[in-house]
Structure 1
């Protein structure tokens, strides 16, 4: 059994004796605190924190991280508090333990809100000290290694959350050794039979291909030696989950996955990396399009290496990675290399850069947290953000921006700055104008065009891939909706107050303050927003503001109170148009104040109004259109036509000539002679629709046209 003395011997390689003594003292303290507690396997509980500290020792973490690993379950599982730990071991260790102890299990299926709240706590703890997440990853790794004692359903739940969250965080922070093991252990727990079969297939393939692999490795090493280049060639194999994903995504059996094995060449400096690349390309032909230079453009987690794929003997593809020793240490330890180099009392630019990038990532998480409406929305953003970056584009000044696969121009704009994203209207990609929804490719240069009054569009949410963009758009839309709701609420309240021949501006402050207290509203804007969103009824608030007693008869409304509210069709997010009747500018319309939505506009002939008049008569009021601009409104039509060839083209031509667009078209054959065409057009107003219908009626084969809408 691994003991504290064994750990102390290992720590002697990089920690001074006084710090090792502090780690031992933390172990004995934890041993006493957990006295009598046992793991599900039956072992004394203290074996778990000792194993977690051993994992951190492999990464040469500092003595405070090791002490926190020893004590990480003390606050949660014993009666000892944070203050007592601070007095015993110092405040930094107590803060680390407190941060880790709050990180409870996270899933997205059960108890979602509570678990999302815990995830927010983790982000806050990480923002104060990045070592929190490293200790947590080591804790999770040992838990995954010892899953055997748990029930199968609990195994699967823990494995799923490990795969979805912790393995991705390890990848995002560049800690590859932990990521690979977490992924394979999760895969074994989720799919034990598939994992075992692939493991056996890999072992069998290794036996069959041993001669080929040895021959390729020897030829690579000989080529380096002949050119006088210092470098060691080592073989490697893809881990189980990586092979399984490739089989699943490419729909291939294991026998057709040729690049299960690859080679890594470790050398002394960057210049030699590129010289070795030339040697291996001269030895074996490279596969076009499979070369990636992560040295010139590192991954977001700081990973650097040259990747190339070659045609080996018999056409077998060979994956080769070329990197320096420092890059190898970074690839394995990621952000933990920051403490590895600190332990040696040296600063290293690669490790420092990785640490700075990790802190920038956590800063971005905090920004998303501020913008998110609640913890569930935040966890959704974070989950999206944990996908690896693999697209690199450039600003006009040549700065590199890293974005995930599938990112669009909008993602790039928000990546540069939130204000630029909110105000973008167009883009130039490699000096050519392109729409905001364009998906980006590596190597492109982008220039964003902005306008002072521009605002995000709700449709943008369907065209973004990054969590930062999605979070910022939702935040801006929420703010925009609240602003527009407050403006609408002011109009509705002033209209209701005109019945008492007053207005909001003329009311005494004490009357407004009294109603705000009565309704438990923070301020005037909150009250107006609630009215605009339909959560409060304007005329009820108006009666309270002018202190009309309950049950008292209301005076006859002045003409201004009976006038309809004017709408233009471009109010924004607080006026919506009913899908049941599809109102157009020029139709006679009625507004219904729907809670949380604002005003929903219906045609006066809409059958749903009868129910609304019965249930919510006080939330219905007259509307009237003002001059309308170029905004389009959808309207469905039903055409009865004679079946004939070229029908769709003829209808489309008529609609286009009338300056309208077809949003949707469906054709149903009624019989051999007659067809029913369901057509949804985008038109400006009622007059525009009338002109289109007139042109359609002039077609000889159109026998009947009906405007739909209940």
Structure 2
């Protein structure tokens, strides 16, 4: 275990002005606070915060961050409080330690929800002070190094969290060395057999090619020196996890990998980077498609380097990175490479907002993620946003947009602005019309075509987008659209009830009744009515206390094939769907939450009734549907509805119906049935076929038709076919 003076010496090497008394005080306080606590390994618990502090001294961080590392578990695992830390070490350090403390006594039902809420708290603390992130990553790194002492199930859970969240977070902050170690440590736990096999193969290749690596280093150095470019060239073996991930992503065997080794040339200036590139490309052939210039176009995490692959000595592929010393430091240490301990630069976070695109991105992302998501969605969106493989696309005006791999123009639209995404109806990729689900590639120019007003978003968008921002925005828009549908339905129900009760409806009247309804707004009232969470009669009674509801029960009228309403002692029958106050139904693509009877549907021309289902809106049934019998004793769920279908010759709307066909069992009979439907412009949505006897087959076909006349024509032509014994409509 590191001694007190050793820690002070490590800090003094890079910061001669360190506050030794503060470091000593924190060392002693943390050691006493943790007392006799032990780790799973049996080591004193204090050894852990001490090792975390040691990792941070390698990153050359300021005194407050080192002290926070020593104290980071005191509030969570000892009797120390935030008040104690503030009093002894000051509020700045107290704030850092508080940001690293997990939430206690979370009243959440799932482990994922608890994980998400702790992550949310951590990210919000990081947004306020970047040093929280640096301590947390060092904390996770030491925990991963000592993970072998944990139970197997806990090891796996911690490794999954590390590879899903903390390794990508380190990558997003440009801390590639830490990311690589976190990935390899997680890989060892999650896929031990693969880790052992790949590590063994890498060791074999290293032993076999040790002289080749030295030869490539010498030749590259000599070639560059011959052109007056002083460069430090080193070869390095790729990490096991990155090799495995490439094999998985590209479905390659180990023998097919040609870039197990990478070489790095460190030069003095940006001009030397491009001069070195010229030397390399004029000496050895370039491998097509393997050149990337992150110097002129840096990554979002501030990474800058030139990447190229050439056919080098002994016809071996040489993957080369060319960068300056400053670029190399940022590539290895990311945001920690900024001199956080220097005086007169403002707070570390303010400095990084000015100097680091990575940290500025993180703060913007956290602001987006922190609003309006439940814990599980927050965790999902965070994982999406931290995914570090990127493509770079351009707007028509030249704005660079960085997106994850597999991103689509929908992601691009939301990256530009949420309103652009919500109004997107099409796109052009590199000047050509393309589907909105097209996968984008580096260098693509993307133009988003938008509607003038808000656009109904397809539910499928949520499953195809690659960014958390897009997914969250789509969910919000769809929730708002569904809520608007329920509110519109509730509005119509309340207005029509007022009409039948001969009472005047007004927003002012309802607004005054909100306290009695325990709702915050008129829209909340209507949405509750639309979802069947609040009865329309209760709303009218809240506006008019003297209103008395007529209790009604639904009764069948079998001989007429429809249902009536019984009020009081007299029986009064009416044909549903024809009253002036009936709610108009336009179909499923309307402003109301509408669906059709699941076993047979309904089509224009049918007399229809609506049944309210809590949380699902209106289900439309034909009046002759036998399924309506089960709602006979629930009159409060019945709605008077009517068709209100616009005739659009260019894009007519289809409606669901079901038919049952009995056909002769002979070759081609199914084709003939399908041909009749196709010839009549019907659309088969689903088909079930069974054998009723050796000579006949029974078909149940779900169709989409325009109206009752269209359906009747299809049934008539099916009956006229010699191979059809029976054809009838099914009403469920």
Q: TM-score, normalised by structure 1?
A: 0.89
Partner of 1:684: 706
Q: What is the rounded CA distance, in whole Å, between the counterparts of 1:32 and 1:415 in structure 2?
A: 50
**Residue pair 1:371, 1:472 contacting (<8 A) in 2 also:** no
Partner of 1:531: 529
Aligned pair partner of 2:639 in 606, 614, 621: 621
Partner of 2:594: 575
Partner of 1:589: 608
**How far 1:190 moved relative to its partner?**
2.4
**How far 1:361 moved relative to its partner?**
2.9
1:228 aligns with 2:228: yes
1:338 aligns with 2:320: no
Structure 1 residues 182, 444: CA separation in 2 closer, same or farther (over 3 Å shift)?
A: same
Structure 1 residues 330, 676: CA separation in 2 closer, same or farther (over 3 Å shift)?
A: farther
**How far 1:395 moved relative to its partner?**
0.8
**Residue pair 1:300, 1:389 contacting (<8 A) in 2 also:** no
**How far 1:620 moved relative to its partner?**
2.1
Partner of 1:303: 303
1:204 aligns with 2:204: yes
**Residue pair 1:14, 1:344 contacting (<8 A) in 2 also:** no
Structure 2 matches for 1:39-50, cutoff 5 A? 39-50=39-50
**Residue pair 1:429, 1:447 contacting (<8 A) in 2 also:** yes
Structure 2 matches for 1:579-658, cutoff 5 A? 579-614=598-633, 616-629=634-647, 630-637=652-659, 640=663, 651=674
Range with greater deviation from structure 2 (637-646 or 572-581) = 637-646
1:469 aligns with 2:488: no
Structure 2 matches for 1:312-391, cutoff 5 A? 312=312, 315-339=315-339, 342=342, 355-372=356-373, 374-391=374-391
- Partner-residue secondary structure (3-state), 1:593: strand
User: What are the Cα deviations for residues 556-607 of structure 1, in whole angstroms up to 9, with x where unaligned?
Assistant: 7999999432222242362233433322233332222222222222333444
**Residue pair 1:389, 1:402 contacting (<8 A) in 2 also:** no
Partner of 2:70: 70
**How far 1:207 moved relative to its partner?**
0.7
**How far 1:643 moved relative to its partner?**
5.8
Structure 2 matches for 1:513-528, cutoff 5 A? 513=514, 515-516=516-517, 520-528=518-526
**How far 1:706 moved relative to its partner?**
4.5
Range with greater deviation from structure 2 (329-338 or 314-323) = 314-323
**Residue pair 2:404, 2:466 contacting (<8 A) in 1 also:** yes
- Partner-residue secondary structure (3-state), 1:428: strand
Structure 1 residues 645, 577: CA separation in 2 closer, same or farther (over 3 Å shift)?
A: closer
Q: What is the rounded CA distance, in whole Å, between the counterparts of 2:407 and 2:729 in structure 1?
A: 40
**Residue pair 2:72, 2:100 contacting (<8 A) in 1 also:** yes
Q: What is the rounded CA distance, in whole Å, between the counterparts of 1:273 and 1:172 in structure 2?
A: 24
**Residue pair 2:715, 2:728 contacting (<8 A) in 1 also:** no
**How far 1:663 moved relative to its partner?**
5.1
Q: What is the rounded CA distance, in whole Å, between the counterparts of 1:168 and 1:126 in structure 2?
A: 15
Range with greater deviation from structure 2 (363-372 or 556-565) = 556-565
Partner of 2:426: 426
Structure 2 matches for 1:156-167, cutoff 5 A? 156-167=156-167
Q: What is the rounded CA distance, in whole Å, between the counterparts of 1:180 and 1:344 in structure 2?
A: 33
Unpaired runs of at least 5, structure 2: 553-566
**How far 1:538 moved relative to its partner?**
1.9
Structure 1 residues 7, 695: CA separation in 2 closer, same or farther (over 3 Å shift)?
A: farther
**Residue pair 2:23, 2:63 contacting (<8 A) in 1 also:** yes
Structure 1 residues 318, 507: CA separation in 2 closer, same or farther (over 3 Å shift)?
A: closer
Partner of 1:102: 102
**Residue pair 1:425, 1:454 contacting (<8 A) in 2 also:** no
Q: Between Structure 1 and Structure 2, which shows a larger proportion of helix residues?
A: 1
**How far 1:708 moved relative to its partner?**
5.0
User: What are the Cα deviations for residues 439-496 of structure 1, in whole angstroms up to 9, with x where unaligned?
Assistant: 3232222222222323241232233221111101111121222222222112112223
Partner of 1:489: 490
Q: What is the rounded CA distance, in whole Å, between the counterparts of 1:503 and 1:699 in structure 2?
A: 58
Range with greater deviation from structure 2 (592-601 or 501-510) = 501-510
**How far 1:234 moved relative to its partner?**
0.4
Range with greater deviation from structure 2 (250-259 or 435-444) = 250-259
Structure 1 residues 490, 26: CA separation in 2 closer, same or farther (over 3 Å shift)?
A: same
Tell me the matched-pair count: 702
**How far 1:678 moved relative to its partner?**
6.5
1:264 aligns with 2:264: yes
**Residue pair 2:624, 2:731 contacting (<8 A) in 1 also:** no
**How far 1:16 moved relative to its partner?**
3.9
User: What are the Cα deviations for residues 622-648 of structure 1, in whole angstroms up to 9, with x where unaligned?
Assistant: 321113353333445555477667986
Q: What is the rounded CA distance, in whole Å, between the counterparts of 1:189 and 1:70 in structure 2?
A: 27
**How far 1:314 moved relative to its partner?**
5.6
Q: What is the rounded CA distance, in whole Å, between the counterparts of 2:319 and 2:351 in structure 1?
A: 24
Range with greater deviation from structure 2 (560-569 or 234-243) = 560-569
Q: TM-score, normalised by structure 2?
A: 0.86
Q: What is the rounded CA distance, in whole Å, between the counterparts of 2:109 and 2:164 in structure 1?
A: 12
Partner of 2:562: none
Range with greater deviation from structure 2 (135-144 or 243-252) = 243-252
- Partner-residue secondary structure (3-state), 2:19: helix
**How far 1:124 moved relative to its partner?**
1.6
Q: What is the rounded CA distance, in whole Å, between the counterparts of 2:415 and 2:322 in structure 1?
A: 30
Q: What is the rounded CA distance, in whole Å, between the counterparts of 2:697 and 2:352 in structure 1?
A: 70
1:37 aligns with 2:46: no
Q: What is the rounded CA distance, in whole Å, between the counterparts of 1:74 and 1:329 in structure 2?
A: 32
Q: What is the rounded CA distance, in whole Å, between the counterparts of 1:87 and 1:156 in structure 2?
A: 39
**Residue pair 2:609, 2:621 contacting (<8 A) in 1 also:** yes
Structure 1 residues 397, 248: CA separation in 2 closer, same or farther (over 3 Å shift)?
A: closer
Structure 1 residues 578, 413: CA separation in 2 closer, same or farther (over 3 Å shift)?
A: farther
**Residue pair 1:641, 1:677 contacting (<8 A) in 2 also:** no
Q: What is the rounded CA distance, in whole Å, between the counterparts of 2:341 and 2:315 in structure 1?
A: 42
**Residue pair 1:592, 1:621 contacting (<8 A) in 2 also:** yes
**How far 1:73 moved relative to its partner?**
0.9
Partner of 2:216: 216
User: What are the Cα deviations for residues 144-175 of structure 1, in whole angstroms up to 9, with x where unaligned?
Assistant: 11123222222122111111111111112111
**How far 1:547 moved relative to its partner?**
3.6
Q: What is the rounded CA distance, in whole Å, between the counterparts of 1:387 and 1:526 in structure 2?
A: 38
- Partner-residue secondary structure (3-state), 1:161: helix
Structure 1 residues 313, 17: CA separation in 2 closer, same or farther (over 3 Å shift)?
A: closer
Structure 1 residues 648, 55: CA separation in 2 closer, same or farther (over 3 Å shift)?
A: farther
Partner of 1:512: 513
User: What are the Cα deviations for residues 332-352 of structure 1, in whole angstroms up to 9, with x where unaligned?
Assistant: 1112223458579799x9976
**How far 1:416 moved relative to its partner?**
0.4
**Residue pair 1:334, 1:351 contacting (<8 A) in 2 also:** no
1:500 aligns with 2:501: yes
Q: What is the rounded CA distance, in whole Å, between the counterparts of 1:50 and 1:221 in structure 2?
A: 41
Q: What is the rounded CA distance, in whole Å, between the counterparts of 2:630 and 2:163 in structure 1?
A: 50
Structure 1 residues 604, 293: CA separation in 2 closer, same or farther (over 3 Å shift)?
A: farther
Structure 1 residues 635, 174: CA separation in 2 closer, same or farther (over 3 Å shift)?
A: farther
**How far 1:28 moved relative to its partner?**
1.9
- Partner-residue secondary structure (3-state), 1:13: helix
Unpaired runs of at least 5, structure 1: none
Structure 1 residues 380, 312: CA separation in 2 closer, same or farther (over 3 Å shift)?
A: same
Q: What is the rounded CA distance, in whole Å, between the counterparts of 1:277 and 1:507 in structure 2?
A: 73
